[in-house]
Amino acid sequence: MNMVSEPNVKTEAAPALVVDNVSHSFGETLALNDVSLEVPRGAFVVLLGLNGAGKSTLFALITRLYDNVTGEIRILGHDVRRNASAALQRLGVVFQGRTLDIDLSLKQNLLYHCALHGISGREARARSKSALEFVQLADRANEKVRNLSGGQARRVEIARSLLHRPALLLLDEPTVGLDIDSRESAVRIVRSLVAKERLGVLWATHLFDEVELTDLVVVLHKGRVLFSGAVTEFLEKTGTKTVSDAFRALTGITDTELAA
Amino acid sequence: MSVGSATEADDSLQPAGQEAGHGWGVDPPPLGPLAYFTCLKGIVWREILRYLHQRERFLSALVRPLVWLFIFAAGFRQTLGISIIPPYQTYILYEVFITPGLIGMIQLFNAMQSSLSMVYDRETGAMRTLLVSPFPRSYLLLSKLVAGVSVSLLQVYVYLLVAYFWEIEPPLYGYLTVLPALILSGLMLGSMALFMSSIIRQLENFAGVMNFVIFPMFFASSALYPLWRIKESSVLLYQICLINPFTHAVELIRFALYGQVDWTSLAVVLVFTAAFLGGAIYAYNPSKGLIARRGGPGGS
C-alpha cells in the first residue's frame, strides 16, 4: 500500500479514500477510536452518525485541518500528511456551515476557488460557467450570494467543490436546514456525478431517508465504526427493514435519544 | 428554491453535466510557479473586492486619520514646537510630522481588522475553504498577509492624496520610495495581528483590541511626538517607545518618505516581521500548532 502514495505511481487503482486505523483525541477525550473506512471510486458512501459521533473530527482530519496523530489517511493513494498537496488537489469539500462570501457574486466566489487550486484565466471562467450551469444557476452568475436562498447557496457550494474535478467529495451534513425540494436536488446532483465521473462521495448525515439501497454505509458511533458495508448487508445483519431501525438496533439507542 | 427548478434539474443535468465533465478523471498536474502566482492573485483579489464592498470600512479607514490630521494636528500645532530633526531639513508643520505616524495607524488598524476578519472567517468556515487549498499552508497565510497589506497600501495612498492638499507635500520621489517601507511595515503589523488572532480568542472584541493593542502601540511610539521630547519628560517611556516595533515602522516610513533609509528601524522591522510570521505559521501548523490543540477553527 505504501507504494501507491508515491506521487508518480498510477493512482487509477487506488480507492478515492482510505482511512486506516485512525485515532484522534482532544486532551483526554478520545474523539475517534481506531477508525477505518474506505470510499471506492464511483461509490456513494453514507457516513451515519449522531451529533458528536466524531464525524466532524474525521472530516477535519481528512481535510488536514489538523494532523491525524495515529493511522493513515489516503486520498486516491496520496497520504494527506506526507503528500498533502497531491491529496488536497484531489479532494472537494462541502462544509457544514455556509462558506461563501455573501457580498461577492456567484461567479466571483467560484473564480476565487479556482485560484485556490491554481486555475486561472479562461479555464477558470469556463469551469465556473459550466459548474453554474450544472447546478442550474447560470442565469444568476453575477448576483450576490446574499440574494440566494439556502438551497441555492448549497448548490453553489456543491458546484464550487467540483471546479477542480476532485476524485473524492466530502459533504458534511449538506442538507441540514434545506427544504425538501432543495434536499432532493442536492442529493441528485451529487449522485449523478458518482455514476458518470466515478466520483467517490462520503456523505455525512443523520437523516436516514437520504440512504439508498445501493449505497455503502458506515456507522460511526461515539468515535467508533460499528458497521461498514452495503446497505442490504446492514439491514440483513441487524434483521431490520429500515435504515433507521438498523441504526437503532446497532447502536442500542432509544427513540428519545435519537430525537434529541 | 422553486419546485419548478427542482423538477427541471433532471432533464438538463445531462448536457450541462457533460460540459462540466471537462477534465474529469484526469490526474491534476503538479502545482507550478504559475499556479502559485494564480493563488496569490486570487487571494489578494478577493480581499480587495471584499474591502471595496464594505463601504463603512472603506470610509472609516479614510476618515480616522483625516480627523487626526485636520483637528488634532491643527490644535496641537501651537503647543508643540518641532526642531529640525532628520529626515527633515527645515522647520516643518506638525501635520507633516505626524503623517508617517498616521500612515502607521492606518496600517495598524487595517492589520487588526484583517486579523479580526480571519477570526470571523474561522467561525464561518471561510477559513477552512482556504486551508483545504492544495498549496502549502505557510504560503496561504503569506498570501493572506500580502492581501491585507495590499488593502492597506490602497488606504495609505488615498490618505496621502488628500493630505497633499493639506500642505503635506513630500518630494514626488518620496511617494515611490515609501512603497517598500509601507510593504515592510504592513507585513510586520499584519503578521503580528495574524499571530495574535491565532492565539487570542477574545480578539473578536474590537474594543479590547483598541484598548490593549492599538492605543498602547500608537501612543507609546514616535507617531505623535519626537522621541527626544519623550525622553525629556520620562526616560522610562522613552525606553518603552524604543522597544515598541511600531516606533520603528513609523520611523522607517518617515525616512522613506524623503528617500532615506533608517537602518536601525529597517533591521528592527525585519526581525519583528520574521518573528511574528514564524509564530503565525507555527500556530496554524496542523500538527504542532494551536489550532490542533484547541479543536480547530469553527470546530465545536
The CATH number for A24's domain is 3.40.50.300
Q: Are residues A187 and A83 part of one domain? A: yes
Of A66, A127, A192, the CB nearest to B291: A66
Q: Give percent above pLDDT 90 in chain B.
A: 46
pLDDT of residue B75: 82
With an 8 Å Cβ cutoff, is B30 touching chain A? Answer: yes
pLDDT of residue B124: 66
Q: Which residues of B touch A188 (CB under 8 A)?
A: 9-10, 13
Say if residue B151's pLDDT is above 60.
yes
Q: Which residues of B touch A119 (CB under 8 A)?
A: 35, 38
The residue out of A133, A165, A197 marking a domain boundary is A165
3-class state of residue B243 by DSSP = helix
In whole angstroms, give the CA distance from residue A85 to residue A7. 10
Say if residue B293's pLDDT is above 80.
no
Residue A214 covered by a domain:
yes
pLDDT of residue A8: 43
Q: Are B125 and B68 in contact (CB under 8 A)?
A: no
Q: List pLDDT tens digits, range B153-162.
A: 999 999 999 9
Q: Are residues A207 and A105 part of one domain? A: no
pLDDT of residue B89: 83
In whole angstroms, give the CA distance from residue A236 to residue A255. 21
pLDDT of residue A1: 40
A89 with B28: Cβ contact below 8 A:
yes
Structural domain boundaries, residue A248: 2-90+166-259
Going by DSSP bridges, is the β-strand pair A29-39/A44-48 parallel, antiparallel, or unpaired? unpaired
Q: List pLDDT tens digits, range B107-150.
A: 999 998 887 777 667 666 778 888 899 999 889 989 999 999 99
pLDDT of residue A171: 95
Q: Are A224 and A57 in contact (CB under 8 A)?
A: no
B296 with A65: Cβ contact below 8 A:
yes
With an 8 Å Cβ cutoff, is A34 touching chain B? Answer: no
Q: Specify burial of residue B43 (Cβ count, 10 A radius: 0-12, 13-18, 19+).
A: buried
CB contacts under 8 A, B 104-143 vs A, are 124-126, 128-136
The residue out of A126, A143, A165 marking a domain boundary is A165
* Residue B152, number of CB atoms within 10 A of its CB: 27
The residue out of A142, A165, A188 marking a domain boundary is A165
**Most confident stretch, A5-9, B75-79, B212-216:** B212-216
Please provide residue A189's backbone torsions phi and psi, each rounded to the nearest 5 degrees.
-60, -45
A104 with B46: Cβ contact below 8 A:
yes
Q: Are residues A189 and A82 part of one domain? A: yes
Q: Are residues A138 and A232 part of one domain? A: no
Say if residue B13's pLDDT is above 50.
no
In whole angstroms, give the CA distance from residue A258 to residue A251. 10
Residue A145 covered by a domain:
yes
Residue ranges of chain A with pLDDT lower than 70? 1-12, 68-69, 255-260
Residue A95 covered by a domain:
no
pLDDT of residue B26: 78
In whole angstroms, give the CA distance from residue A38 to residue A17. 6
Q: Are B163 and B69 in contact (CB under 8 A)?
A: yes
In chain B, what is the greatest distance between 2 CA atoms, to the nearest angstrom? 81
Going by DSSP bridges, is the β-strand pair A70-75/A17-26 parallel, antiparallel, or unpaired? antiparallel
Q: Are residues A154 and A31 part of one domain? A: no
Q: Are A130 and A207 in contact (CB under 8 A)?
A: no
Packed helices B3-20 and A180-197: angle between N→C axes, nearest 10 degrees: 20
ipTM of this complex prediction, to 2 decimal places: 0.88
**How many Cβ pairs closer than 8 A exist between chain A and B?**
178
Say if residue B274's pLDDT is above 90.
yes
pLDDT of residue A7: 45
Say if residue B19's pLDDT is above 80.
no
Of A104, A115, A192, the CB nearest to B39: A115
| DSSP label of B212 | I
Helices within chain B (DSSP H only): 3-20, 33-53, 55-67, 73-76, 94-124, 126-131, 137-164, 172-199, 206-209, 215-219, 227-233, 235-243, 245-256, 263-284, 290-294
Q: Are residues A8 and A78 part of one domain? A: yes
How many independent structural domains does chain A possess?
2
* C-alpha angle A105-A110-A112 in degrees, rounded to nearest 5: 95
B34 with A63: Cβ contact below 8 A:
no
Cα A158 from chain centroid (whole Å):
10
pLDDT band at B296 (very low <50, low <70, confident <90, very high): very low
A149 with B3: Cβ contact below 8 A:
no
Please compute the mean of the pLDDT values over residues B3-17 and round it to a whole number: 38
Q: List pLDDT tens digits, range B235-252.
A: 999 999 999 999 999 999
Q: Are residues A200 and A79 part of one domain? A: yes
Q: List pLDDT tens digits, range B161-205.
A: 999 998 888 999 999 999 999 999 999 999 998 888 777 665 556
Q: Are residues A114 and A86 part of one domain? A: no
B36 with A118: Cβ contact below 8 A:
yes
pLDDT band at B291 (very low <50, low <70, confident <90, very high): low
Q: Which of A222, A184, A220, A187 is nearest to A201 (CA)?
A: A187
pLDDT of residue A154: 93
